[in-house]
Amino acid sequence: MPAWYRSADLLVCAPSYPSFGRAAVEAMACGVPVVASAVGGLPETVTDGVCGVLVPPDSPGLLAKAVRTLLADPALRRGYGTAAAELARRQHTWHRAAQSIMDLYHHARTHHTLTAPDRRPATVLAA
């Protein structure tokens, strides 16, 4: 996958529903700038104006404008790509991912105590 990402001038990641944006992180790690919809985890992954461009979801005109702007400016793409690689390598390490999960569990354990007053088994519904 790294060679495939590096062969691209930019990555467009435009889901209309919340998404973590794994492809965005992978492209960024390869030095590829990203144009992304500002949904889900993408605003936390792509720093607008630093390593790519964020656009509102379901905004094809703004998405096209961002893509055209980056494709027309190789220096801007290189700058965003360099920043993207640095950000991805700094922010998305295994250590940081593990620490985030540990922090989440700690928060859930200390702030969300579950009680079962009548000791019946819990019922869980999944969609």
Tell whether 123 is covered by a domain: no
What's residue 120's pLDDT? 56
**Which residue range(s) make up the domain with 69?**
2-94
By residue count, the chain amounts to: 127
Tell whether 120 is covered by a domain: no
Output b/e per residue, 43-69; b: 16+ Cβ within 10 A: eebbbeeebbbbbebeeeeebeebbee
The residue ranking higher by pLDDT, 126 or 108, is 108
CA 85 to chain centre: 13
pLDDT at 115 over 70: no
pTM: 0.74
Tell whether 31 is covered by a domain: yes
Tell whether 124 is covered by a domain: no
pLDDT digits (tens, 9 = 90+) for 46-93: 999 999 999 999 999 999 999 999 999 999 999 999 999 999 999 877
Number of structural domains found in the chain: 1
Q: How far is residue 41's CA from residue 79's CA, in Å, rounded to a whole number? A: 23
Q: Return the CATH number at 64.
A: 3.40.50.2000
Tell whether 106 is covered by a domain: no
Tell whether 20 is covered by a domain: yes
Which has the closest alpha carbon to 36: 14, 17, 5, 8? 14
pLDDT range class, residue 106, cuts 50, 70, 90? confident
Do 57 and 38 touch, CB atoms closer than 8 A? yes
Tell whether 28 is covered by a domain: yes
The residue ranking higher by pLDDT, 104 or 124, is 104
Tell whether 118 is covered by a domain: no
